[in-house]
Structure 1
């Protein structure tokens, strides 16, 4: 019993519509690409966090404190390299032979080539041991004709870099100390 009210139209059958094709799922390659992209994106984010944390490590703040006090990291490295002899010798005894000098070491930080660090060839044993074993040595040239240098390594991978005064500032991050070859 269908009641028809005045002004109401009676609808007929719906017009023909072809059936929709079934929705396709994602291919296996698309799923793999999404998973790998997520993993590498997460690792990249962790690397950025590690570099940020290593820049605020106590070793970099110690070099900043000495820079504020008026001495350079170079003089700090020399002071650390030279052993301090205690004055326990008797005046009648012959002085002991001085200990052999260690080569100057340059820990993580920024150094001006020619002022804080002499020009020359240097090496590092690679990244410091830790969660993210990655280190980099970069230069910021003062001469427009000179290209910046970027050297990076993991733990156990040696970096060798030659510095000139045109290299300007050398930045060491996450590495074992830089020593002269």
Structure 2
């Protein structure tokens, strides 16, 4: 089973305002690496105070960071050919699409799955399915709302969900989640 878990933090309500991106790579059902990039968003130096309250990333933190355009090729290489999973995937896929559009990049054919859908099928009676709640349920500690940590927890939750559903290969995931898998 191979996939990447991805997470973005944004500077403003604009989807192209990614200020941090995290990717956790899973190969053969094991986490092999997690990569995090701080990103200088197009809105720089403006960050909405509410966004800062959520993730704690400030304009000073990204003042010397690369723009999305400068990190995309490295990120794309990690994602190439893999299923992408994100917690609340419509948000993260939207940020990725918006960043690619803003910088004029071709959108790769990436299939993605929301880990909330996976969690709801795996653990039917939980009160909530937020990333923090799922991590607490599984005794996973992490620094919430930091992209690398969120991506890694998403990967861990996904692996636990696949195990609970007895899915061990990508073709099984594709068959089981056929209606839930979308394309970037």
TM-score tier by shorter-chain length is under 0.3
Q: Higher helix proportion, which one?
A: 2
Q: TM-score, normalised by structure 2?
A: 0.22
Which structure has the bigger radius of gyration? 1
Comparing both chains, which one has the higher relative contact order based on Cα–Cα distances under 8 Å and sequence gaps of 6 or more? 2
TM-score by length of 1: 0.22
